[in-house]
Structure 1
Amino acid sequence: MGTSRRSYGGRTVEERRADRRDRMLAAGLELFGTEGRNGTSIERVCQVASVSIRNFYEEFTSRDALLVEVHKRIMEASTQAANAACASAGEVTLEERLRINFTVGLGTIFADPRAVRVAYTEVLGGGSEVQEYWLAWRANLAGVFRRYRAEEVERGRAEDGDSTMPALMAVGAIHELAHAASQRPSEVPLRALVDELVRFTLAAIGGSAAVSR
């Protein structure tokens, strides 16, 4: 029997390792989301996750590598929920698609204050590894908005042109507005935030007319 298929307590090596990784990611969300990156040590993550330091370095090269993976997991859950909602809605306008994306995607993140802190605060305070990841993530989201713009051009609802800078501007605005709203949840309800984001994004990427006030 190969090492990978060996069973310990009824579970394979892969299953045990996956369980340890999940516990470390959960510990990362808890600690980064409550105590922040600067207040979180690898030793503390291992204590909360009930794993050894050796186990940690089998999965992650550093504390920032864990932060990146926690952020990825948050954003993947948000994206999957938004995509599923858009798919269920069928054929919709760009304005409707944006509204669904922002409502469901941000709603998924805002449901957990720890996720909000990781997504809009802690990811900006990491070292070079986190910053490199953040720039790539931002560029990827900007690419999504460029595709939206291209679709609007094909439908004759937007003028053709380079949408690179407007798309990056939209990404920056989304992050800043979401961060500001997260600091004042009682003053800025999700619906008001979504209204502003839809209006701004439509204007930034040159789609159909901005939402009227």
Structure 2
Amino acid sequence: MSMPRKRGPGRPRKVPVAEQRTLVLAAASHVFATNGVQGSTIEQIAREAGLTRQAVYELYGDKNAIFEAVVAQAEEDAYAAIAAAGASDAELDLKSWARKNYATLFEFVASHPDALALFQEAERAGNQALSRLRQRLARVYTDASGQRWAAFGVEPGRADTALVTMYFAMVESLVRLNWDGDPPDRDALLDLLTEFTIGGVLRLYSQAPEVIARVR
């Protein structure tokens, strides 16, 4: 009686196409963030992904197509994570809500270490992903913050869109800042941002309302 033949040792399994795409995008994100588009190659991406160059070409065609796919995924990942936090927790007051959302921005950057560098590289390459992301998030945050400003008798109007855009810019700057020595505790930065932005706007409304009025 003949025995069934066993699969030979060390024979690689066929990686499903969907899994290959995931591997390529994750690898390309790191490669592009580290080396830029011009300094990156299909060979580097394939090696990082554990695939052949041919497999990468078959999946995406060329380096530019991979870059566009990576940036699009980063934009959607960032929007999903940050917008969800901004639109939730309706019971939080203004300061608590603002602090929570600053924390969400820091957490996203920490869990996606290549994201900011990738967005910056996209901007240099003419892809306005970061600007689109800011605009999309500003709409979510403006709606949510406007409801909370009302508790203070404040109606910011269009000024809120400008303020939210400024908030994002401040967080991005702090995340990228090279500190002289160890950086401050993250909670200290969150408190600084919260008090500076919320407290600052409230002072504007009470002491210089004409400034906000001109932006409405």
TM-score (norm 2): 0.67
- With over 3 angstroms needed to count, the CA separation of the structure-2 counterparts of 1:185 and 1:96, relative to structure 1, is farther
Deviation of residue 30 (structure 1)?
A: 3.1
Query: 39, 52, 57: which is aligned to 1:54?
Result: 57
Q: Are 2:197 and 1:195 equivalent residues in the alignment?
A: no
Deviation of residue 127 (structure 1)?
A: 5.3
CA contact (8 A) 1:121 1:179 kept: no
Q: Are 2:139 and 1:143 equivalent residues in the alignment?
A: yes
Q: Structure 2: how far apart are the matches of 1:72 and 1:148?
A: 21
Q: Structure 1: how far apart are the matches of 2:108 and 2:19?
A: 24
Q: Are 2:99 and 1:109 equivalent residues in the alignment?
A: no
Q: What is the DSSP-based 3-state SS (H/G/I as helix, E as strand, rest coil) of the residue aligned with 1:125?
A: helix
| Aligned residue number for residue 210 of structure 2 | none
Give aligned pairs, total: 189
Q: Which runs of 5+ in 1 are unaligned?
A: 1-8
Percent identical pairs in the alignment equals 19
Deviation of residue 24 (structure 1)?
A: 0.9
Residue-by-residue CA offset, 1:156-191 (whole Å, 9 max, x unaligned): 44234322322222222222222216x678323321
| Aligned residue number for residue 68 of structure 1 | 71
Q: Are 2:21 and 1:21 equivalent residues in the alignment?
A: yes
Q: Which has the larger radius of gyration?
A: 2
Deviation of residue 20 (structure 1)?
A: 0.9
Q: Structure 1: how far apart are the matches of 2:90 and 2:157?
A: 28
- With over 3 angstroms needed to count, the CA separation of the structure-2 counterparts of 1:200 and 1:17, relative to structure 1, is farther
- With over 3 angstroms needed to count, the CA separation of the structure-2 counterparts of 1:22 and 1:130, relative to structure 1, is farther
Residue-by-residue CA offset, 1:52-93 (whole Å, 9 max, x unaligned): 33334169852431440452365257438x739x95x67211
- With over 3 angstroms needed to count, the CA separation of the structure-2 counterparts of 1:54 and 1:122, relative to structure 1, is closer
Q: What is the DSSP-based 3-state SS (H/G/I as helix, E as strand, rest coil) of the residue aligned with 2:127?
A: helix
| Aligned residue number for residue 170 of structure 2 | 173
Letter of the aligned partner of 2:85 in structure 1?
Answer: N
CA contact (8 A) 2:167 2:197 kept: yes
Q: Structure 1: how far apart are the matches of 2:185 and 2:62?
A: 38
Runs of 4+ in structure 1 deviating by more than 6 angstroms, as ranges, are: none
Q: Which runs of 5+ in 2 are unaligned?
A: 1-11, 205-216
Q: What is the DSSP-based 3-state SS (H/G/I as helix, E as strand, rest coil) of the residue aligned with 2:91?
A: coil
| Aligned residue number for residue 209 of structure 2 | none
TM-score (norm 1): 0.67
| Aligned residue number for residue 208 of structure 2 | none
Deviation of residue 48 (structure 1)?
A: 2.1
Q: Structure 2: how far apart are the matches of 1:208 and 1:148?
A: 20
